[in-house]
Amino acid sequence: MSATLTSTADAPSANRYRRSQRILHWLMAIVIISALLIGLYCSYLVQGTPLRRALLDIHKSLGMTALILIAIRLPLRLSLGEPAYRRPLDVFSHYAARGAHILLYVLMIMMPLAGYTTSAAGGHDLPWFGVFQWPNLLPPDKSLERTAAIVHEYGAYCLYAVVTLHILAALWHHFARKDEVLQRML
Ligand code: HEM
Ligand code: HEM
């Protein structure tokens, strides 16, 4: 484990995620929810219009940012683990949370990769907020583009559902059960 991870600023406070994990969680929550909402809006716009192109550029930039952040977050999670609960959750909540978190991690990896593949195999732009272009590592391939677009679209439906349940569960724990769950991430 590196010196940064064990520094006082990032020390495990008994029942909360480490500071680095909390910052990454909230940063990614903002990035992913914005990407989801912009993607959803774009799906109602006519292809090729200047507004759709501009919004898709922002969407792709957010999505690629999520890909970089998850590449940092996942190893951190695997090495640091999660904090203990003061009072263990009941069995149902424990397995529901575990399942939802694993699914969120899978989707956080799958969505940017499928988005990248759609754009790269289609020979489209891969911008990052107008600052630079990501390298296109794929040869033009229409059928790969179509397959990746389908994975991206159905992945988005799953993400809408799981993120909504995740947020409702966090609010339910905090306001109805009045337990420690939300505090662990604040
Ligand atoms: C966390 C990351 C991402 C999320 C949550 C996300 C979500 C979405 C959603 C909800 C849509 C609208 C539904 C659809 O038409 O598929 C969409 C469309 C799209 N996304 Fe993403 N996306 C992400 C990353 C990316 C990345 C990294 C790229 C490319 C570099 C990308 C490129 C596209 C493109 C080109 C479309 C339009 C597809 C079409 O109209 O056929 N996305 N995305
Ligand atoms: C308003 C939005 C959100 C709230 C209130 C929220 C709240 C929380 C809370 C309280 C936890 C800790 C749960 C526990 O310790 O059992 C957590 C964990 C987690 N959240 Fe969120 N979250 C939000 C958005 C998101 C989004 C958009 C994503 C990803 C798409 C996400 C992914 C995760 C993951 C993967 C974990 C598990 C962390 C780990 O064990 O490494 N969250 N969230």
- Say what the pTM is: 0.94
Task: Return the pLDDT at 116.
Answer: 98
What six digits make up the tokens of 104?
Answer: 């969120």
Ligand nearest to the CA of 117: 1
Ligand 1, from 152, 157, 158: best to mutate by most atoms within 8 Å of Cβ? 152
Look at residue 145 in the predicted model and tell me its pLDDT.
98
Q: Whose CA is nearest to atom 33 of ligand 2?
A: 101
Lining residues, ligand 2, CB within 6 Å = 25, 28-29, 32-33, 77, 82, 97, 101, 104-105, 108, 163, 166-167, 170, 181-182, 184-185
Task: Look at residue 6 and tell me if it is in a domain.
Answer: no
* Residue nearest (by alpha carbon) to ligand 2 atom 4: 167
Domain span at residue 28 reads 17-185
Using the atom order of ligand 1, give the atom closest to the CA of residue 160: 10
pLDDT of residue 7: 44
Q: How far apart are CA 146 and CA 129, in angstroms?
A: 25
Domain of 145, CATH number, reads 1.20.950.20
Protein residue closest via CA to atom 9 of ligand 1: 39
User: Beta partners for 133?
Assistant: 127
Distance separating alpha carbons of residues 40 and 50, to the nearest angstrom:
17
- Check if the beta carbon of residue 110 is closer than 8 Å to that of residue 155: yes
* Torsion 81-92-87-185 (CA) sign: positive
pLDDT given for residue 12 in this prediction: 53
The alpha-carbon radius of gyration of the chain (Å, integer) is: 19
Number of domain units in the chain: 1
Q: Is residue 128 part of a domain?
A: yes
Residue 61 Cα to chain centre, angstroms: 13
Residues of the chain with pLDDT under 50: 1-8
* Domain presence at residue 104: yes
Residue 3 lies in a domain: no
How much is the pLDDT for 11? 53
17 pocket-lining for ligand 1 (C-beta < 6 Å): no
pLDDT in tens, 39-67: 999 999 999 999 999 999 999 999 999 99
